[in-house]
Amino acid sequence: MTSTTEITNPKWRTCHGDDCAWFDCGDGFVVCHRPSGKTHVLNDASYRLLTELLQNPMDVAAIAAEFASGQDKSPSDDYLERMASMLRRLEQFGLIQRA
């Protein structure tokens, strides 16, 4: 379960843009992370996070609100927890870092 501290802190941002090479494969995206030499297959949500939302540091609650925009209600605790999990995974891949 995600703690309140993890939802409000830290802020996340993408790593240096030159660290990644992107390829659109139609039903997802492939990113080659040059520093680690690893390649990852990402879904549309992860691609949007890395290329649009996390160009400026944002916390989990702000990111979840951006993804939920257009919906009538604010993101649930479960949604915030899933978003935090996705951010931790992207951090493990070396694609984002804590600001």
Structural domain range at position 75: 4-98
Task: Give the per-residue pLDDT at 39.
Answer: 94
Q: One digit per residue, pLDDT tens: the chain, 99 residues? A: 555 455 556 899 998 778 889 999 988 899 999 999 999 999 888 888 888 888 889 999 888 888 877 666 678 888 888 888 889 999 999 899 888
3, 16, 34, 35, 53 from 81: Cα distances, Å: 9, 26, 29, 29, 18
pLDDT of residue 41: 93
CATH of the domain at 28: 3.90.930.40
Q: How many domains does the chain have?
A: 1
Task: Give the per-residue pLDDT at 70.
Answer: 64
Strand spans (E) along 27-93: 29-33, 38-42
Name the nearest CA neighbour of 94 among 10, 45, 31: 31
